[in-house]
Amino acid sequence: MSITIHTDVPLKNYVTMRLGGRARFMADLHSPSEIHEIVQRAKEQQLPVFVLGGGSNTLVHDDGYQGLVLRNRIPGFEVIGETASDVTIKVGAGESWDDVVRRTVEMRLSGIEALSAIPGTAGAAPVQNIGAYGQEVAETLISLEAYDEQTSQIVTLSNADCLFSYRNSMFRSSALGRYIITSITLRLFKAAPAPPFYKAVQEYLDERSTTLYTPEVIRQAVMAIRADKLPDPKERPNTGSFFKNAIVEDWQLNDLKKDYPDIPAYDMPDQLYKIPTGWLIEQTGLKGQLLHGMRVHDKNALVLINESATSYEDLATARTEIIGAVRDKFRIQISQEPLEM
Q: Tell me the longest C-alpha to C-alpha distance in the chain.
A: 64
Is 167 considered catalytic here? Answer: yes
Q: What are the residues whose beta carbons fall under 8 Å from the beta carbon of 76, sequence distance 6 or more?
A: 90, 91, 92, 95, 183
Active-site entry in 167, 219, 226, 295: 167
Query: Regarding beta strands 141-148 and 339-340, do their DSSP bridges make them parallel or antiparallel, or are they unpaired?
Result: unpaired
Query: What is d(CA 201, CA 207) in angstroms, rounded to the nearest whole number?
Result: 10
How far, CA to CA in Å, does 165 sit from each of 5, 98, 139, 270, 292? Answer: 35, 22, 11, 12, 33
Phi, psi of 92 (to 5 degrees): -65, 140
Active-site entry in 56, 143, 169, 241: 241
Phi, psi of 79 (to 5 degrees): -80, 125
Q: Which residues are catalytic?
A: 167, 241, 337
